[in-house]
Amino acid sequence: MRTQARPRRAQGSDRIARGKRFVLLASQFHPAIARSLVRGATDTLIRAGAARSRIRLLWAPGAFELPVIAARAAGGRPRPHAIIALGSLIRGETPQYEVLAHAAADGLSQVAVKTGIPVTFGVIVAQTAAQARARAGGAMGNRGAEAAEAALAVLRLFQRARL
């Protein structure tokens, strides 16, 4: 089996996003955090060559609804090249956020497997709002940008491996 060099992190220098269509799905909960994640993902895609007009933003009521919206978006025309799910789940007084996080992650991965479209998970699962803000453009980076980079890395792999 031939081994390939370890893929580099998506930085946009190869303009992999040029001519491609992207769907950003963002949960409406914690709107300031969601907007920051959307900005991070959008900026990453544009740096990689995506046209702003080919980035479609859809707002979901919450994280639980992300998979069904992703499934509809994946089946729509024109078909997106990648779907990036964004949002934040913050622990409350009940374990419900864990159930929601698992349901969203599982549902989104099912959409990716069933459709062959990369669906990345840019949903922050945090103990506190401060932790979520730190991962939405704060000291810990931007999970939206990271999810966009993951989508670009998969598209790059598809292109190089001719998949």
Residue 50 CB partners (closer than 8 Å, separation 6+): 17, 18, 20, 22
pLDDT tens-digit series, residues 87-101: 999 987 667 888 999
Q: What are phi and psi of 85, to 5 degrees?
A: -95, 130
**What is the DSSP code (8-state) at residue 64?**
G
- Domain 22-161: state its class: alpha beta
CB 123 within 8 A of CB 101: yes
Task: Tell me whether residue 57 is exposed, middle or buried, using C-beta atoms within 10 angstroms of its C-beta: 0 to 12, 13 to 18, 19 or more.
Answer: middle
Residue 57 CB partners (closer than 8 Å, separation 6+): 24, 26, 38, 42
pLDDT tens-digit series, residues 1-48: 444 444 444 444 579 999 999 999 999 999 999 999 999 999 999 999
Average of per-residue pLDDT across 65-73: 98
Task: Tell me whether residue 129 is exposed, middle or buried, using C-beta atoms within 10 angstroms of its C-beta: 0 to 12, 13 to 18, 19 or more.
Answer: middle
Question: What is the per-residue pLDDT for 93?
Answer: 60
pLDDT: which is higher, 96 or 135: 135
Reported pTM: 0.90
Q: What share of residues in the chain are helix, strand, coil (percent, to 5)?
A: 50, 20, 30
